[in-house]
Structure 1
Amino acid sequence: MTTGKVIFIFIAVASSRFFIVFSLRLLSGDHYCDLTRLPSPQALRSDQFTVLINGYSESRIPILQTVTGVYSSSPSVAAVVVLWGNPTTPAKTLVELSHNLSISSPGDAPISVIRQPSSSLNARFLPRPWISTRAVLICDDDIEVDPKSIQFAFEIWRSRSNNPEQLVGLFARSHELDLSSRTWIYTVHPNRYSILLTKFMLMKTEYLYEYSCEGGESMAQARSIVDEMGNCEDILMNFVAANKTDMGPVLVGAKRVRDWGDARNEGVRRRGRGLRAAGEEVAVGLSSRKKGHRRRRGDCIKEFHRVLGKMPLTYSYGKMVDSIGEQGLCEKGGKLVFCDQQTVF
């Protein structure tokens, strides 16, 4: 990794409820894989989890204020951290963002913004010495999940004491072998899945180290594929977890999910990994829904299989639900309505 200069900017803000100290940090890449700087797994708390939100586009800052507030209000959340991956965003903007998120939050969990050491999608899986929880939630900045579903997903993760290595999430996809072309493809099945998306992915904290620091040259090559494709870090994390467990992930249902990146949202106010204006798709995220998106992700599966030397992805069936009638929310005609079906990307 590229070595970065260590910069700390601390700003204290008085609040009627508490005294807030927040920071904007650019951390050196030399230290992430130094185990002496990381807490031992035994020291991590299991009653809460840490939320790591991938941030990139300034146009999504209004959404971030809502999303971070929901997570901060959850009693199971220890901290909410926005990992900012856009190197062109001015430091002043991120300082103001951190300040605004902190003082406007309705919850008690602290919210902070950290500039990533690079724009690489691999950076969202870097191990962090300040993570104090046994579980982390990796999520996107355009996904808003209702509080009860967040809590339910965490309870499902905690309840799997016999195999806590399984990933738990809300959005599932699948791999498949195309017999005609004899190659791996990325797809969706109505009754089975093998991949969870980082829109909402709960996992054990140790996976950050295993993804970023272990696996030798083959994992280094796999991470390079993520950088070359500008995509597929979620698929590679599923490879890591499946290789550890020999099991598929766990899909959890949500009562309400508001996905600003869903293609079924209409109008120029669409917010997601792309913004639509005057009929044009404009990429605003690190991994945009470009033409051929599904084919490119199939190429990732094929390349990961090649460099890692095995296909660990395993199918799971069904999902854990807390109630019936779960629905996603989409924007149509300037109003929020229930989405009628899942759109696959």
Structure 2
Amino acid sequence: MNIDTNMSTIITASALDGNGALYSRAKERAITRGAYTSRAPLLLRRLRLLLAPAKLRLLLGFCVFCVVVFVTSRLRYLMGWIPHDPSSVSSSSRGGYTVLINTWKRNSLLKQAVAHYASCSGTDAIHVVWSENDPPSDSLKIFLKKMVLSYSQTIHKPNFKFDINEEDNLNNRFKPIKDLSTDAIFSVDDDVIVPCSTLDFAFTVWQSAPFTMVGFVPRMHWLDKERNGLAYYKYGGWWSVWWMGTYSMVLSKAAFFHRKYLDFYTYEMSPTIHDYVTSERNCEDIAMSLLIANSTGAPPIWVKGKIYETGSTGISSMKGHSNRRNKCLNDFISLYGKMPLVSTNVKAVDARQEWFW
């Protein structure tokens, strides 16, 4: 009897914890996990209840966004529209384009430009406008021809030729070219590189409006004031375009136009403008923009795309450049007797390269 009583006392003592409460292993594990810690404040519990649906909505919204991005990226195929494959612009039936490179005493940049444009599938021919006193060396000719053959990715290798001029004159870049097999001319400076995919997209834009000018470097004009009863216009650079959201020119340093404008520039444009460009050594690009606008009565088309300038800072950074461009613009307009330029705020964008339409 005493033994049973003692055992009962031992069991009872071991079953009680330090606070006198009944002890169990389950309770000990629960305490370890925090199940018996103090409850969270009421406000915190309500906040969790409110956030749970918000998290669910956020997750569902993200899933919907992913589906929309996927569907829009495939929509052109679902609707039966497949964009031009880059190889399609180089087929003989489409003609491709002739790259017209203007260069002057920068052979290293010329080599880089020729190699790059030879690699573009739409390039049918490459012509280099050479206006230096000495003709290109035989070694340079051979080197560039070999470069064209090695860098071209198409079965039809681009034709390559130097268009040699006897005098240094900016009008040379717009002389007519014999035996062209394309209507499209891509005029470019030797220090400007346009990625092939961007160039081919611009070519498809030009095909939709082949008699306007399609390019990558927009500029603008605006009426400043009247002087002696005559309108006076100002020439605006890139920052003016960015600020105003409008443009009326694209520069020929990187632009497509129809080959007929080479004839128009040389044979039909006022000789006074030729003489002006020769004496000023500037503004041939403004002259071409005015010529095409006067012919079409329509604005040019700016193609949004990344281009790379590999040369040093050009004449646009020289002191007095803006004043000279203003003077060119107004002198040319006075010869036309009107303002041919048409302003626009439209730009062509390759939607396949954009996140949002």
| Cα deviations by residue, 1:12-64 (Å, 9 ceiling, x for unpaired) | xxxxxxxxxxxxxxxxxxxxxxxxxxxxxxxx97531111100112xx22222
Which position in structure 2 is the counterpart of 1:49?
97
Quick one: which amino acid aligns to residue 347 of structure 2?
Answer: K
Once the two structures are TM-superposed, the CA of residue 315 in structure 1 deviates from its matched residue by 0.5
Query: Where do 5+ consecutive residues of structure 1 fail to align?
Result: 1-43, 262-270, 274-286, 326-345
Q: How many residues align?
A: 248
| Distance change >3 Å, CA 63–CA 195, structure 1 → 2 | same
Local SS of the residue matching 1:294: helix
**Structure 1 residue 253 corresponds to structure 2 residue 281:** no
Quick one: which amino acid aligns to residue 274 of structure 2?
Answer: R
| Distance change >3 Å, CA 55–CA 317, structure 1 → 2 | same
Cα distance in 2 between the residues matched to 1:317 and 1:128: 33
Which position in structure 2 is the counterpart of 1:178?
224
Once the two structures are TM-superposed, the CA of residue 189 in structure 1 deviates from its matched residue by 2.3
Cα distance in 2 between the residues matched to 1:307 and 1:324: 43
Local SS of the residue matching 1:239: helix
Cα distance in 1 between the residues matched to 2:256 and 2:354: 22
Cα distance in 2 between the residues matched to 1:123 and 1:289: 23
Quick one: which amino acid aligns to residue 299 of structure 1?
Answer: K
Quick one: which amino acid aligns to residue 231 of structure 1?
Answer: N
| Distance change >3 Å, CA 243–CA 46, structure 1 → 2 | farther
Which position in structure 2 is the counterpart of 1:95?
138
What root-mean-square deviation, in Å, do the aligned CA atoms of Structure 1 and Structure 2 show? 2.0
Local SS of the residue matching 1:111: strand
| Cα deviations by residue, 1:283-309 (Å, 9 ceiling, x for unpaired) | xxxx67431111101100110011121
Cα distance in 2 between the residues matched to 1:94 and 1:196: 33
Cα distance in 1 between the residues matched to 2:137 and 2:331: 36
Cα distance in 2 between the residues matched to 1:94 and 1:237: 31
| Distance change >3 Å, CA 288–CA 101, structure 1 → 2 | farther
Residue pairs, 1:1-345, within 5 angstroms = 46-57=94-105, 60-87=106-133, 90-91=134-135, 93-105=136-148, 106-107=151-152, 108-160=157-209, 164-179=210-225, 182-187=231-236, 188-190=240-242, 191-215=245-269, 219-254=270-305, 256-261=306-311, 271-273=312-314, 289-322=317-350, 323-324=353-354
Cα distance in 2 between the residues matched to 1:48 and 1:192: 30
| Cα deviations by residue, 1:173-204 (Å, 9 ceiling, x for unpaired) | 11111127652111132211011112111000
Cα distance in 1 between the residues matched to 2:115 and 2:177: 22
Cα distance in 2 between the residues matched to 1:45 and 1:116: 32
Once the two structures are TM-superposed, the CA of residue 130 in structure 1 deviates from its matched residue by 2.4
Structure ranking higher in helix proportion:
2
Structure ranking higher in strand proportion:
1
TM-score (norm 2): 0.65
Check whether the contact 1:45–1:133 (CA below 8 A) recurs between aligned residues.
no
| Distance change >3 Å, CA 272–CA 46, structure 1 → 2 | farther
Moved over 3 A (4+): none
TM-score (norm 1): 0.68
Once the two structures are TM-superposed, the CA of residue 220 in structure 1 deviates from its matched residue by 0.8
Cα distance in 1 between the residues matched to 2:258 and 2:300: 13
Cα distance in 2 between the residues matched to 1:52 and 1:197: 14
Once the two structures are TM-superposed, the CA of residue 96 in structure 1 deviates from its matched residue by 2.2
% identical equivalent positions? 31
Cα distance in 1 between the residues matched to 2:222 and 2:211: 23
Cα distance in 1 between the residues matched to 2:264 and 2:178: 14
Query: Where do 5+ consecutive residues of structure 2 fail to align?
Result: 1-91
Check whether the contact 1:73–1:109 (CA below 8 A) recurs between aligned residues.
no
| Distance change >3 Å, CA 289–CA 86, structure 1 → 2 | farther
Cα distance in 2 between the residues matched to 1:99 and 1:198: 28
Q: Give 1 or 2 for the bigger CA radius of gyration.
A: 2
Quick one: which amino acid aligns to residue 297 of structure 2?
Answer: D
Cα distance in 2 between the residues matched to 1:209 and 1:180: 34
| Distance change >3 Å, CA 96–CA 225, structure 1 → 2 | same
Cα distance in 2 between the residues matched to 1:176 and 1:156: 26
